[in-house]
Structure 1
Amino acid sequence: MNMNRRNLLKVLGLSAVGVATVPLWMDGWTSDDLPADTTGLDEDQKLVLAAMVDTYIPSGEIPGAKELEVDHFILAMVGGCFQKETQEEFLTGFNGLHQSSTEAYGSSFDQLSTQQRVELLIKLEATEKDPDKTINFVPFIKDLTISGYMSSKYIMENHLGYEFVPGRFNGSFPVEKSVYRNA
């Protein structure tokens, strides 16, 4: 794979800005912790985003991404952590998804069956490789969905065994043998 220097610097710069501006609520978040949406998505686009996260991580024995409101996490991340250019490409991505969905199936993405959604997302992820864009919409949403799901408080506490600060204190435990010896 041949990557030119300009694109590499753009990716590294975007990554550095994203990591440097990651807010503290990202680790172990709940929907109550998230700031208000500032992305400018309309209600139809929010339904499409909810359908996308539900397609990537559906509910089963444990809650899926839609139940954990990962779509709200994505909106908070895009609105609070990314530059204006990335936010504009994020909004434009919904138009491309809607166009692809209506061309392929004659319906909006959120109205498609789960199988149709999966097929369309796989197809779009394979074809979205524009080096001039800061983000490619479908892989961008997929990555944020996984990040949001895995960093949600529910998953961290119930499935990853994470204990939030201050954690547990075990001040009394038996000491069997001293590490230090008398000289």
Structure 2
Amino acid sequence: MDRRRAIKNLALVLGGVISATTVGILIKDYVIPDNENSKVSFSPTDEALLAEFADIIIPTTKAAPGAKAAGLGAFIPMMINECYPADLQQTFASGMKAMEEKCQKEYSKNFISLSPEERVKIMEHLRTESLVDVKKPSFFIIARDLTILGYFSSEIGCTQAREYIAVPGRYDGSADYKPGQKAWAT
């Protein structure tokens, strides 16, 4: 099974969790020509920024490490370059640049240098902007969806954030679910 098909299947499983934009990208059989792939390049600084961004969406808790620990700083750029068409790669890159410019304008610092409270304010602003036109893909929506997809398909997401049995037994459609119990990954 190739990577695109595996991601497509995972998107179908997680369909209710990620947005229609991301599901559409993953399900639609894009054939990205080699000369059109990877119009955007990401630096190690960009990966660090995306790791911090993702960690706000899924932070570390007592129960499980967060998105940063799951390696989403590298996962998000890889997905953008390998699975998204050039126009959405550009949308993502320009949105990330606009976020950095907003950080400089409002706080005179880059995103990584902001305090946790300032980062949350910036993300709330991005979320509000993304709700204005939900049919148009935005940096925030793409990054949020890839954070959820990457985290819950990572080893940490599957084994620590959710209940996990390495070798599941028989199917039991009427298994008891205790209040506060994690969702099942298997």
**2:120, 2:27 → 1: CA distance?**
29
**What code does the residue aligned with 2:41 have?**
G
Whether the 8 Å CA contact 2:22–2:142 is kept in 1: the answer is no
Deviation at 1:143, TM superposition (A): 1.8
Q: Higher relative contact order at CA 8 Å, sep ≥6: structure 1 or structure 2?
A: 1
Q: Indicate yes or no: 2:141 matched with 1:139.
A: yes
Alignment partner of 1:128: what SS? helix
Gap runs ≥5 in structure 1: 1-10, 23-37, 171-183
Partner in structure 1 of residue 65 of structure 2? 63
Deviation at 1:130, TM superposition (A): 6.7
User: Which residue, out of 110, 113, 116, partners 2:118?
Assistant: 116
**Aligned positions of 1:30-69 closer than 5 A:** 39-61=40-62, 62-69=64-71
Which of these two proteins has the greater Rg computed from alpha carbons? 1
Task: Name the count of aligned residue pairs.
Answer: 143
**TM-score calculated relative to the size of structure 1:** 0.66
Deviation at 1:169, TM superposition (A): 6.9
Partner in structure 1 of residue 34 of structure 2? none
Deviation at 1:162, TM superposition (A): 3.8
RMSD: 2.9
Whether the 8 Å CA contact 2:103–2:109 is kept in 1: the answer is yes
Deviation at 1:44, TM superposition (A): 2.4
Deviation at 1:128, TM superposition (A): 3.3
Partner in structure 2 of residue 18 of structure 1? 26
**TM-score calculated relative to the size of structure 2:** 0.65
Gap runs ≥5 in structure 2: 1-18, 31-37, 171-186
